[in-house]
């Protein structure tokens, strides 16, 4: 594999995507296949990159005094597997959305943004120069902004909010990078290892961690995710916020904190408590909000936040098991969450709505979507033997192992992290039961009788992702050995605390299933099950009045004393930094407006006061 | 590691046959003692067996609107997860060496599977009664899960002072300890009894079935062989859950006779709670578990941590 592959795989999609953005809509019959082709080639290239982990490429661009800005790309075992999956998700979602985006007014913007995402995300993962990383990081943000604008009406608001929040965090990243340069005198990531625990280093670490956590969508900087989830296309959510943004955010976090190898390994070690608190708060708060949502995509978006908490908790343990668990959970989450968003999109396309109240009983009309959604929902809830369980199980063990050390606060509080993480898993199950009930099970409203299954373009990507959930669950040691352990630099097998033989357990569950099936079959030979109408206490009821929608499921929780007030504050966006920043911003402008009232004498007064102050300062009268 | 054939035999004999027989006997005990409390005669010993056999011979009905596949699969999934669960637990009771399928976290997750299957089966039956029932069952699960996890963590904390960390997640190693002999462990045990009462859907936590208000709720549309599966699964849970509590808190089956006595004590506790309380509303249950049981256990957890730190065993 030649080293030239690296710049080609990064810049070819970016250039093509950039050109595509400006092409007229009539050319969409040309750009759609182009998108498929480019993403497929990028995936092939990613496979090549995964196989050869020694690639590197550097080209000097310019020098200003000592500051050299070189295009440094290098392949590591941590980035290579993420590149593989980023490229895989991009091409799957390109297949999923290529047909339905044809009718979109901004079809070419969508296609262009997909290619930008492919190139930009791989660029972030390959970059060895902090400013190069920032450049690609920004391209991904812009691509997300562009993609969200192609959504429904009001998507502009969502896109702006997303861009504002991610842009602000990118600003933090820039500042963090500059601080890092101040400390180390270099931008080259492989040469940076900050060991001094000085205030500037802590500030740099926190700023860069803010960027990583905002990208991944951790509490409290998560609020762009639900808003964009509600108004943008499901495919957009599946490609960026659900999968690639998680990969990038967690990648940056791991690059910062990885013990011994990370940029800020020593600093991060002392700040484990901060990370653990963010992780635990994210897990619990987001899932509590998710439970009471009424819109499929918004509910999924809150879960995309909640699951980040497991990854951050896993990383916060900073022991091998926890790190492996956090990274594995990131991989698993990308798989099942993009599958879920794709299912949500399929349901929305077939029925025309994503509101839970108007759905129901679709399991019979859309069996393939149901199956994919069911598998992904079970995976995210950590039901055995799917993949979500395996990674959560590792994270729990990481937390338990952290408890061995009794000197730091983060370690002493391990029961808190453990209970929060495990309890949130039950709450996740609760909200996915709600989804399965109100979308696919329960009764079908009369309005949906004519619903049809989506086309093969849509269900094939969903099935592939669902199959990955099953494979990564039953044979969970396989992805761990191929992707995760090499990425973290572990030699050989990892010594875990517990024991989980997933394939054996699956076999045993299957045998148990057969026991029941054999008994049923034996007693029902020659008998046929009779179809009966639903028991309605003898009354005759119209179909629609017999539907109990899942939206009513957790009213008990949201009206529980103590939680009621929190939920109502949350509804009013009291905890949303974007809304709060907007409010304080408008407060500031109002004050300025009040000062600038256009009356000359008042301006004169201000000028006089200003001059007096200046005079005092200049003459040092105090 | 055992050979595969041996494991399958263990699964069928221990996990299915033994558990089913003991479970049906236990459900007879529940009914008989309840009858005695209410000045009734109660059913004959074989009644639970007759019930299951009779149901197996009945006609199977499936609601027209139901998602037939999920509706039929749900009781089988519940049964198979209880079979695996009880195999894992009974192997430890019989002092067999080595892991079977998984550690104690796996056991905790397996415990939720029957409830999940019940909820999905009820949702699939497309009945409004069953929908309400499944909503309640789900809320019940998230209510008792918090105190149950706290209790489990207390056991882990107590154990972390006594056994190697590599053994911490082995239920067999945990069952050698007696967390009940401390204040925090005792509180955890008492709350866990309430949690498994809720897991079993016994009064006062029988909101999901609630015959008098929901006419069976989650299982309203089930009949014939599939209902027999639910009955059997429920009876088997009557073995698995108390055994789990015995192994987690009471020192397990150090000798078979003593173990059986512990098991019977736990079952009798469950029966007594069942017969002395009226059914609670779902919001009362949530408040009970989240606002009363959980804070108590958080205090217990702090006690356990402090006790571990200072080396005081009885805290």
Do A374 and A443 lie in one domain? The reply is yes
Of A283, A481, A505, A514, residue with least CA distance to A384: A505
Report CA A4 to chain centroid distance, whole Å: 31
Whether B12 and chain A come into contact, CB under 8 Å, resolves to: yes
Cα separation, A279 vs A78, whole angstroms = 22
Do A409 and A279 lie in one domain? The reply is yes
Q: For residue B1, is pLDDT > 60? A: no
Whether A524 and chain B come into contact, CB under 8 Å, resolves to: yes
Do A507 and A604 lie in one domain? The reply is no
Whether B102 sits inside 8 A of A426 (CB atoms) is: no
The confidence score (pLDDT) of residue A269 equals: 81
Whether A394 and chain B come into contact, CB under 8 Å, resolves to: no
Do A477 and A603 lie in one domain? The reply is no
Q: For residue A153, is pLDDT > 80? A: no
Whether A430 and chain B come into contact, CB under 8 Å, resolves to: yes
Cα separation, B204 vs B150, whole angstroms = 22
Whether B269 and chain A come into contact, CB under 8 Å, resolves to: no
Please answer whether residues A390 and A332 qualify as being in contact, where contact means their C-beta atoms are separated by less than 8 angstroms.
yes
Own/partner pairs, A131-136, CB within 8 angstroms, 24+ separation = A131/A69, A131/A177, A131/A187, A132/A71, A132/A72, A132/A73, A133/A189, A133/A252, A134/A170, A134/A173, A134/A174, A134/A177, A136/A10
The confidence score (pLDDT) of residue A16 equals: 92
A to B CB pairs, distance under 8 Å? 241
Q: What is the extent of the structural domain holding A607?
A: 577-619
| Confidence class for position B2, pLDDT limits 50, 70, 90 | low
The confidence score (pLDDT) of residue A621 equals: 64
Using a CB-CB distance cutoff of 8 angstroms, which residues of chain B are in contact with residue A389? 109
The 3-state DSSP class for residue A72 equals strand
Q: Given A442, A519, A524, which is nearest B126 (Cβ)? A: A442
DSSP A69: E
Whether B142 sits inside 8 A of A430 (CB atoms) is: yes
Residue A56's DSSP bridge partners are A74
Whether B276 and chain A come into contact, CB under 8 Å, resolves to: no
Of A88, A96, A97, A98, residue with least CA distance to A45: A88
Using a CB-CB distance cutoff of 8 angstroms, which residues of chain A are in contact with residue B283? 556, 559-560
Work out the minimum CA distance from A174 to partner chain B, whole angstroms. Answer: 42
Do A481 and A587 lie in one domain? The reply is no
Of A385, A388, A289, residue with least CA distance to A337: A388
User: Which tens digit of pLDDT belongs to each residue from B263-282?
Assistant: 999 998 999 898 888 888 88
Other beta carbons less than 10 A from residue A89's beta carbon: 27
Per the structure, the count of domains in chain A is: 2
Q: A329-362: string of b/e by CB count within 10 Å (b at 16+)?
A: bbbbbbbbbbbbbbbbbbbbbbbeebebeebbbb
Work out the minimum CA distance from A121 to partner chain B, whole angstroms. Answer: 36
Kindly state whether residue A292 falls inside one of the protein's structural domains: yes
Instruction: Tell me which of A550, A556, A557, A566 to substitute to probe the interface with B (most B C-beta atoms closer than 10 Å).
Output: A556
User: Which of residues A474, A490, A520 is at a domain's end?
Assistant: A520
Whether B123 sits inside 8 A of A532 (CB atoms) is: no
Of A522, A512, A509, A519, residue with least CA distance to B229: A519
Nearest Cα residue in chain B from A401: B165
Whether B126 sits inside 8 A of A515 (CB atoms) is: no
Whether B302 and chain A come into contact, CB under 8 Å, resolves to: no
The confidence score (pLDDT) of residue A59 equals: 84
- Count the alpha carbons within 13 Å of A610 in the hemisphere toward its beta carbon: 6
Kindly state whether residue A344 falls inside one of the protein's structural domains: yes
Own/partner pairs, A98-103, CB within 8 angstroms, 24+ separation = A98/A32, A98/A35, A98/A36, A98/A457, A99/A32, A99/A455, A99/A457, A100/A235, A100/A349, A100/A457, A100/A458, A101/A32, A101/A150, A101/A235, A102/A28, A102/A29, A102/A32
Whether B113 and chain A come into contact, CB under 8 Å, resolves to: yes
Q: Is the dihedral of CA B293, B294, B295, B298 positive or negative?
A: positive
Nearest Cα residue in chain B from A501: B101
Work out the minimum CA distance from B306 to partner chain A, whole angstroms. Answer: 11
Other beta carbons less than 10 A from residue B62's beta carbon: 21
Do A290 and A381 lie in one domain? The reply is yes
Kindly state whether residue A401 falls inside one of the protein's structural domains: yes
Report CA B90 to chain centroid distance, whole Å: 14
The confidence score (pLDDT) of residue B309 equals: 83
Using a CB-CB distance cutoff of 8 angstroms, which residues of chain B are in contact with residue A430? 138-139, 141-142
Whether B16 sits inside 8 A of A512 (CB atoms) is: yes
Q: For residue A554, is pLDDT > 80? A: yes
The confidence score (pLDDT) of residue A442 equals: 84
Using a CB-CB distance cutoff of 8 angstroms, which residues of chain B are in contact with residue A369? none
Tokens standing for A494? 């990892």
Tokens standing for A304? 């995309």
Whether B166 sits inside 8 A of A504 (CB atoms) is: no
Cα separation, A585 vs A577, whole angstroms = 12
Query: Which residues, numbered 478 to 517 in chain A, qualify as contacts with chain B under a Cβ-Cβ cut-off of 8 Å?
Result: 495, 497-501, 504-505, 508-513, 515-517
User: Which tens digit of pLDDT belongs to each residue from B146-178?
Assistant: 999 999 999 988 888 788 877 888 888 888 888
Whether B97 and chain A come into contact, CB under 8 Å, resolves to: no
The confidence score (pLDDT) of residue B151 equals: 93
Do A496 and A592 lie in one domain? The reply is no
| Confidence class for position A196, pLDDT limits 50, 70, 90 | confident
Using a CB-CB distance cutoff of 8 angstroms, which residues of chain A are in contact with residue B195? none
Whether A419 and chain B come into contact, CB under 8 Å, resolves to: yes
The confidence score (pLDDT) of residue A598 equals: 78
Work out the minimum CA distance from B313 to partner chain A, whole angstroms. Answer: 18
Other beta carbons less than 10 A from residue B261's beta carbon: 12
| Confidence class for position B198, pLDDT limits 50, 70, 90 | very high
Alpha helix ranges (H) inside A537-599: 555-558, 563-571, 577-595
Nearest Cα residue in chain A from B61: A530
Instruction: Tell me which of B120, B126, B147 to substitute to probe the interface with A (most A C-beta atoms closer than 10 Å).
Output: B126
Report CA A394 to chain centroid distance, whole Å: 20
Using a CB-CB distance cutoff of 8 angstroms, which residues of chain B are in contact with residue A560? 283, 286-287, 290
Query: Which residues, numbered 278 to 297 in chain B, qualify as contacts with chain A under a Cβ-Cβ cut-off of 8 Å?
Result: 282-283, 286-287, 290-291
Whether B134 sits inside 8 A of A437 (CB atoms) is: yes
Q: For residue B129, is pLDDT > 80? A: yes
Domain boundaries, chain B: 4-310
* Mean pLDDT, all residues of chain B: 89
Helix (H) / strand (E) containing A289 = helix A272-291
User: Which tens digit of pLDDT belongs to each residue from B131-144?
Assistant: 889 999 999 999 99
Tokens standing for B191? 């709350």
Q: What is the dihedral of CA A212, A218, A219, A223, to 10 degrees?
A: 90
Q: Given B126, B138, B220, which is nearest A443 (Cβ)? A: B126
| pTM (two decimals) | 0.91
Q: What percent of chain A has pLDDT over 90?
A: 32
Cα separation, B132 vs B68, whole angstroms = 19
Whether A512 sits inside 8 A of B283 (CB atoms) is: no
Task: Give the contacts of B229 (CB within 8 A, at least 6 positions apart).
Answer: A516, A519, A520, B75, B76, B78, B79
User: Which of residues A495, A520, A545 is at a domain's end?
Assistant: A520
Q: B151-189: string of b/e by CB count within 10 Å (b at 16+)?
A: bbbbbbbbbbeeeeeeebbbbbbbbbbebbebebbebbb
Phi, psi angle pair for A528, to nearest 5°: -120, 135
Query: Which residues, numbered 35 to 94 in chain B, qualify as contacts with chain A under a Cβ-Cβ cut-off of 8 Å?
Result: 56-57, 59-65, 67, 69-70, 75-77, 79-84, 87
Whether B139 and chain A come into contact, CB under 8 Å, resolves to: yes
Tokens standing for B146? 């918090």
| Confidence class for position A185, pLDDT limits 50, 70, 90 | confident
Kindly state whether residue A293 falls inside one of the protein's structural domains: yes
The confidence score (pLDDT) of residue B207 equals: 86
ipTM field: 0.93
Using a CB-CB distance cutoff of 8 angstroms, which residues of chain B are in contact with residue A511? 8, 11-12, 80
Whether B119 sits inside 8 A of A384 (CB atoms) is: no
Q: Given A404, A430, A527, which is nearest B60 (Cβ)? A: A527
Of A413, A341, A412, A400, residue with least CA distance to A372: A341
Q: For residue A66, is pLDDT > 80? A: no
Q: For residue A428, is pLDDT > 90? A: yes
Q: Given B103, B131, B157, which is nearest A499 (Cβ)? A: B103
Cα separation, B234 vs A494, whole angstroms = 39
Q: Is B217 left (phi over 0), alpha (psi -120 to 50) or beta?
A: left
The confidence score (pLDDT) of residue B163 equals: 83
- Whose tokens are 């609670």? That residue is B280
Do A419 and A322 lie in one domain? The reply is yes
Of B298, B251, B174, residue with least CA distance to A497: B174
Helix (H) / strand (E) containing A60 = strand A56-64
Work out the minimum CA distance from B37 to partner chain A, whole angstroms. Answer: 32
| Confidence class for position A307, pLDDT limits 50, 70, 90 | very high
Kindly state whether residue A331 falls inside one of the protein's structural domains: yes
The confidence score (pLDDT) of residue A370 equals: 92
Do A497 and A582 lie in one domain? The reply is no
Work out the minimum CA distance from A393 to partner chain B, whole angstroms. Answer: 7
DSSP A484: I
The confidence score (pLDDT) of residue A263 equals: 83
| Confidence class for position A372, pLDDT limits 50, 70, 90 | very high
| Bridging pattern class, strands B61-63 and A530-532 | parallel
Omega within 30 of 0 (cis) for the link into A220? yes
User: Which tens digit of pLDDT belongs to each residue from B70-105?
Assistant: 999 999 999 999 999 999 998 888 877 778 888 899
Instruction: Tell me which of B16, B19, B54, B67 to substitute to probe the interface with A (most A C-beta atoms closer than 10 Å).
Output: B67
Do A446 and A593 lie in one domain? The reply is no
Do A297 and A437 lie in one domain? The reply is yes
Work out the minimum CA distance from A221 to partner chain B, whole angstroms. Answer: 27
* SS3 per residue for chain B: CCCHHHHHHHHHHHHHHHHHHHHHHHHHHHHHHHHHHCCCCCCCCCHHHHHHHHHHHCCCEEECCCCHHHHHHHHHHHHHHHHHHHHHHHHHHCCCCCCECECHHHHHHHHHHHHHHHHHHHHHCCCHHHHHHHHHHHHHHHHHHHHHHHHHHHHHHHHHCCCCHHHCCCHHHHCCCCHHHCHHHHHHHHHHHHHHHHHCCCCCCCCCCCHHHHCCHHHCCCCHHHHHHHHHHHHHHHHHHHHHHHHHHCCCCCCHHHHHHHHHHHHHHHHHHHHHCCCCCHHHHHHHHHHHHHHHHHHHHHHHHHHHHHCCCCC
Whether A33 and chain B come into contact, CB under 8 Å, resolves to: no
Work out the minimum CA distance from A363 to partner chain B, whole angstroms. Answer: 7
Cα separation, B221 vs A458, whole angstroms = 34
User: Which tens digit of pLDDT belongs to each residue from A468-506?
Assistant: 999 999 999 889 888 888 888 888 777 888 888 888 999
The confidence score (pLDDT) of residue A83 equals: 92
Using a CB-CB distance cutoff of 8 angstroms, which residues of chain B are in contact with residue A495? 166
Q: Given A393, A501, A534, which is nearest B65 (Cβ)? A: A534
* Mean pLDDT, all residues of chain A: 87
Do A388 and A302 lie in one domain? The reply is yes
The confidence score (pLDDT) of residue A358 equals: 87
Q: For residue A247, is pLDDT > 80? A: yes
């Amino acid at each position: 594999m030649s080293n030239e592959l690296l710049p080609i795989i990064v810049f070819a999609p970016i250039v093509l995507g950039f050109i595509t953005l400006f092409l007229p809509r009539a050319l969409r019959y040309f750009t759609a296949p182009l998108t498929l082709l480019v993403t497929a080639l990028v995936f092939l290239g990613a496979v090549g990159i995964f196989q050869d982990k020694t690639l590197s490429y550097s080209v000097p661009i310019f020098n200003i005094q000592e500051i050299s800005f070189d295009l440094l790309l290098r392949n590591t075992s941590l980035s290579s597997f993420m590149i593989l999956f980023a490229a895989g998700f991009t091409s799957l979602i390109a297949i999923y959305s290529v047909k339905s985006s044809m009718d979109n007014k901004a079809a070419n913007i969508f296609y262009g943004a997909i290619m930008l995402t492919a190139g930009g995300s791989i660029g972030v993962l390959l970059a060895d120069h902090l400013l190069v990383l920032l450049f690609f990081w920004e391209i991904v943000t812009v691509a997300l902004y562009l993609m969200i604008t192609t959504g429904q009406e009001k998507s502009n608001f969502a896109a702006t909010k997303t861009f504002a929040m991610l842009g602000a965090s990118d600003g933090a990243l820039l500042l963090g990078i500059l601080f890092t340069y101040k400390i180390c005198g270099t931008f080259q990531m492989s040469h940076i290892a900050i060991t001094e625990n000085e205030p500037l280093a802590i500030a740099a670490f926190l700023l860069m961690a803010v960027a990583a956590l905002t990208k991944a969508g951790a509490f409290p900087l998560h609020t762009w995710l639900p808003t964009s989830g509600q108004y943008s296309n499901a495919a957009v959510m599946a490609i960026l916020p659900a999968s690639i943004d998680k990969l990038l955010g967690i990648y940056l976090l791991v690059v910062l904190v990885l013990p011994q190898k990370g940029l800020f390994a020593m600093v991060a070690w002392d700040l484990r408590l901060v990370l653990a608190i963010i992780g635990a708060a994210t897990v619990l708060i987001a899932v509590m909000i998710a439970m009471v949502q009424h819109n499929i995509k918004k509910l999924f978006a809150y879960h995309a936040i909640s699951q980040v908490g497991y990854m951050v908790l896993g990383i916060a343990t900073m022991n091998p098991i926890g790190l492996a668990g956090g990274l594995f959970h990131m991989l698993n989450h990308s798989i099942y969450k993009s599958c879920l968003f794709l299912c949500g999109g399929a349901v929305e396309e077939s029925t025309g709505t994503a509101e839970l109240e108007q759905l129901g009983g679709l399991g019979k009309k859309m069996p393939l979507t149901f199956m994919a959604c069911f598998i992904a929902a079970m995976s995210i809830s950590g039901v055995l033997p799917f993949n979500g369980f395996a990674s959560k199980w590792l994270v729990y063990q990481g937390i338990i192992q952290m408890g061995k050390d009794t000197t730091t606060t983060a370690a002493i509080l391990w029961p808190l992290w453990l209970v929060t993480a495990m309890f949130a898993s039950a709450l996740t199950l609760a909200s996915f039961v709600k989804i399965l009930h109100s979308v696919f099970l329960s009764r079908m409203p009369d309005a949906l009788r004519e619903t049809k299954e989506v086309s093969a373009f849509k269900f094939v990507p969903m099935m592939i992702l669902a199959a990955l959930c099953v494979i990564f669950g039953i044979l969970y040691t396989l992805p761990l050995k191929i992707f995760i352990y090499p990425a973290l630099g572990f030699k050989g097998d990892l010594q875990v605390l517990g024991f989980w033989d997933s394939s054996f357990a699956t076999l045993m569950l299957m045998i148990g299933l057969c026991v029941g099936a054999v008994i049923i079959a034996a007693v029902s030979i020659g008998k046929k099950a009779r179809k009966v109408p639903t028991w309605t206490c003898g009354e005759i009821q119209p179909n629609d009045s017999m539907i109990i929608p899942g939206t009513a499921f957790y009213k008990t929780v949201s009206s529980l004393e103590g939680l009621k007030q929190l939920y109502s504050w949350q509804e009013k966006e009291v905890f949303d930094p974007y809304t709060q920043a907007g409010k304080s911003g408008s407060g500031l402008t109002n004050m300025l407006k009040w000062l600038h009232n256009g009356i000359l004498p008042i301006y004169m007064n201000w000028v006089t006061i200003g001059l007096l102050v200046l005079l005092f300062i200049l003459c040092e009268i105090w | 590691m055992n050979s595969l054939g041996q494991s399958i035999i263990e699964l069928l004999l221990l996990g299915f046959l033994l558990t089913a027989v003991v479970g049906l006997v236990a459900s007879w005990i529940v009914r008989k003692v309840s009858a005695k409390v209410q000045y009734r005669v109660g059913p004959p010993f074989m009644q639970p067996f007759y019930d299951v056999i009779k149901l197996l011979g009945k006609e199977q009905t499936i609601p027209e609107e139901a998602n037939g596949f999920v509706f039929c699969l749900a009781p089988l999934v519940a049964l198979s997860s209880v079979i695996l669960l009880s195999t894992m637990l009974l192997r430890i009771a019989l002092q067999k060496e080595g892991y079977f399928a998984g550690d104690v976290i796996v056991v905790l997750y397996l415990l939720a599977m029957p409830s999940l299957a019940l909820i999905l089966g009820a949702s699939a039956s497309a009945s409004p009664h069953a929908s309400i029932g499944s909503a309640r069952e789900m809320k019940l699960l998230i209510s008792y899960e918090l105190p149950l996890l706290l209790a489990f963590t207390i056991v882990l904390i107590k154990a972390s002072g006594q056994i190697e960390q590599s053994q911490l997640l082995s239920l067999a190693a945990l069952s050698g300890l007696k967390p009940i002999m401390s204040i925090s462990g005792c509180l955890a045990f008492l709350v866990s009894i309430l949690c498994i009462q809720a897991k079993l859907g016994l009064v006062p936590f029988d909101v999901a079935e609630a015959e008098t208000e929901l006419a069976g709720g989650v299982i309203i549309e089930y009949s014939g062989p599939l209902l027999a599966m639910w009955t059997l699964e429920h009876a088997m849970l009557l073995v698995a859950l108390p055994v789990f509590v015995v192994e987690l808190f009471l020192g397990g089956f150090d000798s078979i006779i003593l173990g059986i006595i512990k098991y019977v004590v736990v079952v009798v506790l469950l029966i007594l709670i069942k017969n002395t309380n009226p059914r609670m509303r779902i919001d009362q249950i949530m408040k009970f578990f989240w606002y009363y049981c959980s804070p108590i256990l958080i205090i217990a957890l702090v006690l356990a941590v402090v006790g571990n730190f200072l080396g005081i065993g009885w805290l």
